[in-house]
Amino acid sequence: MKIKCCKTNLLAVQDTMDILKGRWKVQIIAALCYDKMRFSDLQKEIVGVSAKMLSSELKDLEINQLVTRTVLNTQPISVEYALTDYGRTLKKIIENLAEWGVEHRKKIIGKVLEH
């Protein structure tokens, strides 16, 4: 689908940005793109996010039907998050963002940082 610059498409982009806005949502989706994760593992994976903020962002993603929350029958109880089928439709977008980010970093800094 070719995107034209019109009010409908601008509104669609704004809707998308409203759902994904904030510092952490895209990172959460990216972390969940390949496998489900427990809350504590997500918090370790996403450097700098507080438990309160992670919980809030996950609730928002759950409301928008991008993430599911499953309480596991463990001691102590733990919670696992996964992308829904609908959430997985963002995987290609996340991969494209990552590719663009690598190229941008090379262009601006001249190298890619390895972790």
**Quick one: pLDDT band at residue 6, thresholds 50, 70, 90?**
confident
- Rounded to the nearest 10 degrees, the angle between the axes of helix 51-63 and helix 25-32 is 80
Query: Residue 31 belongs to a domain with what CATH number?
Result: 1.10.10.10
Express the helix, strand and coil content of the chain in percent, nearest 5 each. Answer: 55, 10, 30
- Within a domain: residue 50? yes
d(CA 100, CA 5): 21
Nearest CA-CA partner of 80 in 66, 94, 68, 91: 68
Domain that holds residue 63: 24-109
- Within a domain: residue 1? no
- Within a domain: residue 76? yes
pTM metric for this prediction: 0.83
Nearest CA-CA partner of 20 in 110, 111, 94: 94
Condensed to tens digits (0 to 9), the pLDDT of residues 45-100 reads 999 999 999 999 999 999 999 999 999 999 999 999 999 999 999 999 999 999 99
- Within a domain: residue 78? yes
Instruction: Look at the chain and report how many structural domains it folds into.
Output: 1
- Within a domain: residue 14? no
- Within a domain: residue 11? no
Give the gyration radius of the chain's Cα atoms: 16
